[in-house]
Amino acid sequence: MTREEVKNLVEVFYHPPFKTFYINSLDGKSFVRQTGVFVSLGITTSMNVIENIKEIIETHKGYSACIAEISSKKIAGQFMNTVIKTGSDIDQYELTEFDSNTMDRETSLKELDSLKEHLTEEEDLEILKNVTPKISKLSSLIQKLDKAGTWDSHLIQKDDEEDFRIFHKFVNYKKDGDIEYRIGIYVTEN
């Protein structure tokens, strides 16, 4: 089994960019011949999607797959990738520190009201052309999170260009010092 074979299989069902890594250590201390391939889907890919892709891989003749967490560290220019946990009890990493450009529901609604004030004031046409799409975008994101009921796992982020996007509080990647951790799918041959 090669990384390319696993990548080709996953690409049929998962279209956003993703990465694959050989698992080349059993203990995180020494290298071994590859034991399998780890599939790292997008950083914000939900656990449901990861589970679905795992199930698809498992239906492919000759492969076994499980949800896994790996650690990676660079040693002599080579990444040592080790499976540190497998099973259904793996949870995404919760971000706990946020920059000042992230907003919860209450702050998002205040931002929306502030933008709407520009519409009631006599502003020049150029400012109105700039503000109206922002109001629409922010309003749409608030409605989306309200409808899905996912404010506990998402925020809204305002970027430097004052555009808005959904910010995920739970992710599949974290770095601690020189060690990287990822949640994804560990694929081995039967």
State yes or no: pLDDT of 120 exceeds 80.
no
pLDDT of 123 higher than 70: no
Q: What is the span of the domain harbouring residue 58?
A: 3-94+171-189
Tell me how many domains the chain contains: 2
* Amino acid 57: pLDDT: 94
Task: Verify that 136 and 54 share a domain, yes or no.
Answer: no
**pTM for this entry:** 0.84
Q: What is the mean pLDDT of the chain?
A: 92
Same domain, 77 and 147: no
Same domain flag for 22 and 116: no
Read off the amino acid at residue 176: D
pLDDT surpassing 80 at residue 14:
yes
Q: Specify the 3-state DSSP secondary structure of 114.
A: helix
Judge if 119 and 157 occupy the same domain.
yes
Angle at 114 between CA 108 and CA 116, to 5 degrees: 105
* 15 and 67 inside one domain: yes
With cut-offs at 50, 70 and 90, classify the pLDDT of residue 162.
confident
With 0-12 / 13-18 / 19 or more C-beta atoms within 10 angstroms meaning exposed / middle / buried, residue 180 is: middle
Question: pLDDT tens digit string along 32-84?
Answer: 999 999 999 999 999 999 999 999 999 988 899 999 999 999 998 999 999 99
- Token pair 């080709």 is at which residue? 8
51 and 125 both lie in a single domain: no
pLDDT in tens, 23-40: 999 999 999 999 999 999
Q: Where are the alpha helices (DSSP H) in 14-100?
A: 47-59
Out of 50-59, 121-130, 147-156, 173-182, which region has the weakest mean confidence (pLDDT)? Answer: 121-130
